[in-house]
Structure formats: C-alpha cells, structure tokens
Chain A
Amino acid sequence: MISLHQVSKSYETPAGKFSALRDIDLEIDRGEFVGVVGKSGSGKSTLLNMVAGIDRPSSGSVGVAGTAIHGLSENKLAVWRGRNVGFVFQFFQLLPTLTAAENVMLPMDFSKSFPFRERRKRALALLERVAVGAHADKLPATLSGGEQQRVAIARALANEPSLVLADEPTGNLDSVTATAILDLFRDMANQGTTVVIATHEADIARVIDRRIEISDGKIRPSSV
C-alpha cells in the first residue's frame, strides 16, 4: 500500500541545513493500522506529509497504492489526495464558516466523487458513524474538541479513502475522548482502511497493528 524508498528530507533554515528525514525505507500493507511515534521534532509529521503528498522528499521515492506521488504536480497531488487519502489534523482544522455536515461534504465537492444530491446524505451518515450526527448543522465553534475531531474524522472518510493519515489526532483531547477517537481509527482499519497515526504518546499499543518509532529523522530498526 505504502512504499518509501531511501526517502530523505532536509530544510534550509537560518541556522543551517536541517535534516528532518534520513534514508527512510518503509513498507505498510493495506488495512494495516500503524502508529508512528516519536518526540516532538523527531520527523514523524514530515514522514506523514511525505505519504500524504503534502511535502516532497529531497531524495528517494514515495509510492502509495501504486502511484509514485513524488513525481506529481501540486494540482495532481491535490486531486489524488482528495480521492485516496483522508487527513486528520491535531487541531481539527474544520473550516469555521461551514457547518459540520458541510465540512464533511467539502472533500466530496472537491473530488466530485459522489453525485451532488448524495453528498449531504453521505455526510450525515458519516457523522452518525462517528457519533456526532446530532451536530450536523452546527458550526465548529459550537462543538467541543472531541466533537470537532469526530467531524474531522468523518471528513477524512468522505471520499472512502484507502488511506487515512492522522497527525497527533488525540494531542488536543482529554484521555476519555482520545480513547474513543482511537477506537474509531481501529474500526476503520478493521474495515480495510490503511491507517497511519503520528503521535508522541506511547499509549496506543492496544489499538495499533504496528509501531514505528522515529528519532532524529530515522526509523529505529527495532521498531519496524
């Protein structure tokens, strides 16, 4: 499903060159639930960005579901991402002027993956699935953090992606809500969706299939 070969990423900073990833080789299978753990600044978000096509490697190749995404243009990447990847952010990043249902409909509108009339119906079903159906027509500002993250997960599932990536999805939630959110990801993986979560919290062992530990831009061999 995901194949990274000799992926490196470095940034030019005022303090000099900073290597975020170094010679990463990684294979993740379809339906696998993988947790990428590491300290802040270890390179886990960069790794997720590489897989999502949000960032490009300085060297190496990234293949997702048979597509070499490192060679795609920004626009082609956006189209590919809309159809194949669901992304969940730490701070939810719901668009504040759209209701919960509309936030979920947004990727469908971008990708035109479902007929226009079906989009709201599907958005409501997804919100029901993540247990916030009652809040479908509320604006994000009126929802709690946990509810917002559930809406964000529903949005990530909007186009039935084969891959869901989540960057610190529970980092801004209390422990009870975090557990419920992780369970949702587990359900997704059980239904065949590949799920990759970046987190600095070590306590996710009970839900994930595989744990990848990253430190100083390198994957610890023992963790793969």
Chain B
Amino acid sequence: MTTLWRKAIRDFWHERARTALVVLAIALGISAFAAVLSSYAILTRELDRGYLATNPASAVIRVDSIDDDLVNAILQNPEVSDAEPRRTISGQLKSGPVQWRNVMLFVVNDYGNIRVSKLVPEKGAWPPATGEILIERDAFQVAKASIGDAVIIKTANGVEQPLVISGSVHDVGQAQARMENIVYGYINLATLAQLGEDPYLNQLNILVAENRFDKDHIRRVVADVEEVIKSRGHEVRRTDIPTPGKHPHSDLTGILLLAMSSFGLFVLVLSGILVINLLTAMMASQVRQIGVMKAIGGTRWQIARIYFGQALFLGIAAVIVSVPLGILGSRALCRYMAMFLNFDINSFAVPLWVYLLVAVIGVAAPLIAAAYPVWSGTRAPVRVALSDFGLSQTTFGASAFDRALTRIGGTFSLIAFAIRNSFRRRARLALTLLTLAAGGLFFLSALNVRASMINTLDQLFGARKFDLTVSFVNSYEMEKIQRAINNTQGISKAEGWFATEASLEARRFNVVALPPDSQLQEFDIIEGRSLAPGDTDTIVVNNALASREPKMRAGETVMLRMGNAETTWRVVGVAREAFSPAVAYIPHSGMVNNLRLALDKSDPDAVSLVKADLDRNLEQEGVRARSSVSTADTRFAFDQHMLMIYVFLIVMSSIIGGVGGLGLMTTMSLNVFERRREMGVMRALGATPRIIWLMIVAEGVVIGVLSWTIAAILAWPISKAIGDFMVKIMFKSGLDFVFEPVGLLIWIAVSIGLSAAASFLPAWRASRVTVREALAYE
C-alpha cells in the first residue's frame, strides 16, 4: 500500500466520528434506495409469477348460458387451449343479525378440475360441498365470519339460504377484498340451485394455445370463439380481455415502486451532500498539507486521488452497511405490499442486477459528490497553499449581509451569536438546510397530501347527497318501488336511477340516468352546464370520460351504442369527479334499476336497519335487491386506497429527516472543530462549559428553524405538485388541495428537537475541551 492510500485511510480514521456519521447517512440513503429497488424487482417478479401460476384466462366471455356442447365446439378451435365455464353472481351475505354485506359468488362446477384462473385452497374443506361456501382469505374481515360459521346468502332471484363457511381459498386474480369492501365466495352449482337461482353457468374463461402474451392474437382468437358461440344460437353479452400475463395491479405496483425508487435516489443525493460537506471541510483544513505535497512533487491528480480514495471508502463502507439493511427493508415492504395486494411471495431472492446497481450507485454517489470539493481543494497553487493560515482566520463581517446579521437577535447575546455563527460557513449551511428542509417538505407534503385527499373525497362524497345505494337485477317501475319506500322508516329522500353501459367506438363506459333536477347528486361543472328539467337527449360527462374521449366536449354531438341501439346525444357539460371511472349522466325517464336514498340517520346501524326494512318491503312488492352499499362503505374503500400514499410519504420524510439530522450533526461537528481555538479564547475570557454547550445547541436550533422556514415557504407548491403527481399516476385524477396548518406546528417542534439532538453531542464534546487544548489548536 502506498503512502497516499495510508494517508487517505488515516485521515479518515482521524476524523472517525464524522466519517461514521457520513457513512451512516449515505448508508441510510442507499438502504432506502436498495429497499425499494429490491422490492420493485421482487414484487413485479412474484406478482406476475404468482398470477401466471394460476393459469389466468386470456379472455372472459359472458354468454346467456353454457352447455357441454358449446364448450366442446369451442375446444375444436386448435388456437384455444382451454375453455372453462363458470358463473359470477352478485348477492348479499349476512353473518350477524342485521347487516347485509355485498358478496360476489363464483360458481364452479368441478372444483377438482379447475385448469384456468386456478384457486389455491388455504384452510378447511376443498372442494366446497353442497350447502357450503369457501371464502377468499382476505374477505373474512369483510364478512366478519370464520370457518365453521353459518352465513345467510341471498341472490337476486333466490331465497335467503344459510350456507356454512367450510374453508378459505386464495384467489390471486381478485383485488383485495378489504379494499373493495366486498366478500368473495366460492360455491358449486348445486349450492347455487339451493340459493334459488337457476343452476347454469354463463361465463367462459378462455385460454389461447399460443402467443398467450399477444393481445392482438388473443383478440383474433376470441373473435373466432364469439362466432362459434353465435353460430350455436347463443348470445355474447360481454367480453373482457385483461392485459396478458399481468396481474391486474401489476402496473400500479410498478408505478408506485418506481416512484419510491426515485425518492430513494433523492435520499441518496441528499446524503451525497454530507460527503460534500465533509470533504470540503477536510480539504479546507488540509490546504497547507496539499501545498506541502505539491512542493515535494505531488501532482494535482495524485493528491486528488487521496481524497477520491476517501470518497470511495465512504461509498464502499456505506454499501457494505446498507445492503443488508436494504434487503431487510425490502422484505418488510414486500410483505406489506403483498398483504395489500393479496398475493404470496415464494422467494425474496434479490436479483444480481439489483446488487450491482446499488453497489455502483452507492460507490459512485460519494465520488460524484466529492468531485467539486476535491477538484477545487487541490486547485490552489503551491505558494498560496503553503501560505494558508488555517481555518480560524476566515473572515466574517466583510459583506453587507454579515453586517445585517449583526442587527438580528436583539439584546439576547446567545441567540445573536448563534445566528451569526450559523451563517459563517454559508455553503455548508446551504447544503445542510437543503437536507433538513427536504425532510420537512416531505413531512409537510405527506400531511398536506393526506388532507387534500380527504378534502377531495369530502368534495366527491359531499356532492352525493345519498347515504345508500340499492341495486336491482331487473328494471322496475318507480311507482312499485315507491310503495316499498313509503313503508320503510328512516328514508328522507329517494330517487330511482338507471345504470347501464354505453360505448363510443367500442370503448365502454358507465351511463347513469338520473332525474335532471336530482336532489341527491350535485355536479361540479367545469365546462358547459348541468342537466336541466326538460332535457331529453343531453348528456353530461365526467372529467375521466372527457379526458379519455376527445369528442366528449360541451357542444359536441356523439353517437353512442347502448345495448343494440345507437342513439345521438348532445354533450352539454363536463363535471369534475375525482377518483371516478368514466361516467356519462343522462336525464332519466321510465324504468329504474337502482335506488339512491338519503336517510334520517347515516350511522352503520341505522343504515343496516333501513336496508333490512327496505329489503322486506321490496320483497313484498316482488322486487329483489341485488346489492346495496352505503356511501360510508364506499368512502371507506377509497380511504383504504389512499392510505398507502401517505404511509409512503411519512416513511420517506422520516428517512430524509434522519439524513438531515445526521447532516446537521456533521455540520455542527465541523463547525465546532474549526472553531476550537475561538472557543478556547471564550473559555479563557470566562465562558463556562455550559455556555459553550448552549451556544452550539442554539446554533443548531437556529439552523433547524431556518430549515423549517424554508420548508414552510415551499410546502404549498411542492406538496401540491407531489400530491397531483402521485394521484395522477395512480388514479388519473387531480386533488382539491388544502394546506394542513397543524403540520407546520408539528414540524417546527420536530425541527427544533432534531436540531437540538443533532448538536447535543458536538456541543458536549466542545464543552469538555480544556482551554489549553483549545488554544493550542492550529
């Protein structure tokens, strides 16, 4: 080992406390980056692998009914590898005395021979016997039931029937039941008959033989299959072709994790700032040594290599520390995401490319951060470097800004002194403020984004003046339903609506027909006007539909297909609806297939009582509700979707705050180190160790308060941008931004606490240096 390397290592050892802080800060940044990058690699792999292991259907075709002949005819097509009949039917489930919950029943004829979109048995019986139901493992919490319990099920056309929960299954392809607030149940055909429904299957899960990931190929095969179905006198009601080979949540997960990775990279950049601070201070303290090395024959590059070597060491040490931490972090994150998305992780193995990328970035980041301080530190000509008088001679007071600072702080000298001291090394202060303010910004953003999401949802749900939605399988005259409503206690207002689907150039969207003067739905019109009494062929679209379909602008006329008919509509307005799918609203007339009800009381028990009472009264009128959902339950599902955004932001702000704290500790440690002689003078003049200690802690707190000020000023635009960005990529929607003032109070407390804690140790060490030692320091 040459003396150059020895010097690099020993200089760092000499500065070991600060070196350790910087290694820790970089390690924190790399850990965060490694955790999210590993999670990205693991989750995208496992999500798709787990999904593919179920042999997911290439397409799902809903028809009027399926028999063996139809299935055999479809299987004649060599491009179809498999065709498996099923049925999906919605209904309601009751596990307790009162509350009905929505259930999606999956009916399979032969559980022993499921080949497409497989289910994984988890606990209890398999397959479900007649009179039994299996529940998706994540849906137990929604059902509020356990294996062995009896639950009452009722479907649209059936009777209330008790079924025993005999086991649990894992259905990888379904969205998390808790988030959707729905129960997924699995029964056989005989059980369906027990429920009073006609025991037939109407859904074909098709698997293509080749090119399973080619959507165009699947489309062509499905078109052929549809022809076969029609040629045999059956009706094709709807065809869905999911993205081949991709779990329904795969893209969303990928986007979220990529966003996390970019924040991890941001943390790494912030920790690089500490390298800049450390090396700048080290270079400044070694100017004369650099001059000596040049005088005895060292070239600029040879000397720069010493300091680049130190940066390399920082990077390598940080990578060694952070890789295990990152892997642990990724496991925790993967488990959380797996629970969130309801899938299992078979292997936490991190691909080699992740290790390589983390190592390269971890090592490169400090080297890049070191580039400027090293290059500028080795720039001084020999004569200038040799004549360097050391750091304690740096001047304060030359600029107008310095003189202005002397007027801040009032008569309390400690504060005034702390303010002036904090501005002595302005580049270092700026970099420290950057890391601390970034932590504050993320924290404030997390609270603001959370408040804005709540506000946006409040706006969305505030426009819905109804507490309960009851859907029917069939359409009915409103008069018939009105009688049931009139006989039900607790309903203050009711409207009959009609929900259906329409398509514009084969692209489907929901259509809701409601009274033009609806009392239960308000629109936030952003273009044109709302529906008005007397309207007949007018349509108001929400912003999701307007942004998807350029033709859907106020003033345009569009041709829509509803069922088998094509009709012309005038778009009169665009309404803003956050977090909503594409919906068109038209004036209602005639039959209704769902009810919107405003209730006297909207607490869960009151809503359940009204639901039960209304169900009975509707049945007396011969009307069967298919499902009912309270607005509060819908809101709960939205809140669950939002939860992970602000959990993520809070976690990121904690990590950045940690890096900021370590940065401040490094800064205070450097400030104290450079001013040792000055402190010796103060001690000689009578300052007690306590005063020295207080002075340094006060300086740290001044920096903390400054960082809070910057974060507070920038919080509004930055948190709005972050919120809009995250909500846009996840929900294709915007936010009704609000600022959370409590965040400012919390963060000032955190800033002061963090600053005081970060400067405590340097202050304590400074206060322990003897006067003689301090004065002897050059």
Interface residues of A (CB under 8 A from B): 49, 52, 54-55, 74-75, 78-79, 81-83, 86-87, 89, 93, 95-98, 102-103, 105-107, 109-111, 116, 155-156, 158-159
Contact = CB atoms under 8 A, between A and B. Distances in A.
Nearest to A104: B3
Contact of B298 (A82, A102, A156): A82
B249 interface: no
Interface stretch (B134-142, B263-271, B352-360, B381-389): B381-389
B4 interface: yes
A106 B296 contact: yes
Contacts of A74: 294, 300, 381-382
Nearest to B778: A91
29 contacts: A54-B295, A54-B382, A55-B381, A55-B382, A74-B294, A75-B299, A78-B294, A78-B300, A79-B299, A81-B295, A81-B296, A83-B297, A87-B296, A93-B288, A93-B292, A93-B386, A95-B293, A97-B7, A97-B11, A98-B6, A106-B7, A106-B293, A106-B296, A106-B298, A107-B297, A110-B297, A110-B299, A155-B296, A156-B296
Interface string B79-117: 000000000000000000000000000000000000000
B6 A82 contact: no
Nearest to B11: A97
Contacts of B567: none
Contacts of B10: 97-98
B383 A55 contact: yes
A78 B302 CA distance: 10
A109 B295 contact: no
Nearest to B381: A74
A56 to B, nearest CB: 9
Nearest to B298: A110
> Which 10 pairs, one residue from A and one from B, show the smallest C-beta to C-beta distance?
A82-B297, A97-B10, A110-B297, A93-B292, A54-B382, A55-B383, A109-B2, A78-B299, A107-B296, A110-B298
B14 interface: yes
B319 to A, nearest CB: 25
A110 B295 contact: no
Contact of B297 (A97, A98, A159): A159
Contact of A75 (B11, B296, B300, B383): B300
Nearest to B379: A74
Given A95-B7, A102-B3, A49 B383 contact: yes
Interface in B298-314: 298-302
B286 to A, nearest CB: 9
Q: Which of A81, A106, A111 has the most CB of B within 10 A?
A: A106
Contacts of B7: 95, 97-98, 102, 106
B289 interface: yes
Contacts of B300: 74-75, 78
Contacts of A79: 297, 299
A98 B300 CA distance: 19
Contacts of A102: 3, 6-7
A156 B381 CA distance: 20
A128 to B, nearest CB: 19
Nearest to B297: A82
Interface in B353-407: 381-383, 386
Contacts of B383: 49, 54-55
Nearest to B4: A109
Q: Say which size band chain B's interface belongs to.
A: 20 to 34
B293 A110 contact: yes
A62 B625 CA distance: 104
Contacts, number: 89
A81 B294 CA distance: 9
Contacts of B302: 78, 110
B5 to A, nearest CB: 9
Nearest to B12: A97
Nearest to B386: A54
Q: Which of B296, B298, B386 has the most CB of A within 10 A?
A: B296
Interface in B268-297: 288-289, 292-297
Contacts of B288: 93
B773 to A, nearest CB: 13
Given A55-B383, A79-B299, 4 more contacts: A49-B382, A98-B3, A106-B4, A110-B299
Contacts of B301: 75
Contacts of A81: 294-297
Contacts of A97: 6-7, 10-11, 13-14
Contacts of A156: 296
Contacts of A106: 3-4, 7, 293, 296, 298
A97 B8 CA distance: 9
Nearest to A139: B10
A91 to B, nearest CB: 9
B441 to A, nearest CB: 39
A74 B291 CA distance: 12
Nearest to B2: A109
A103 B6 CA distance: 11
Interface string B1-36: 011101100110110000000000000000000000
A16 B537 CA distance: 90
B297 A105 contact: no
A89 B382 CA distance: 13
A109 B7 CA distance: 12
B295 A87 contact: yes
Contacts of B14: 96-97
B351 to A, nearest CB: 40
Contacts of B6: 97-98, 102
A158 B10 CA distance: 22
Nearest to A97: B10
A47 B4 CA distance: 30
A86 B6 CA distance: 22
Contacts of A158: 296
Nearest to A75: B299
Q: Which of B11, B293, B381, B382 has the most CB of A within 10 A?
A: B382
Q: Which of B7, B292, B381 has the most CB of A within 10 A?
A: B292
Nearest to B14: A97
Nearest to A111: B297
A108 to B, nearest CB: 8
Nearest to A113: B297
A74 B300 CA distance: 8
Contacts of A55: 381-383
A82 B4 CA distance: 15
Contacts of B298: 78, 82, 106, 110
B306 to A, nearest CB: 10
Contacts of B289: 93, 95-96
B386 to A, nearest CB: 7
B382 A82 contact: no
Nearest to B294: A78
A96 B11 CA distance: 9
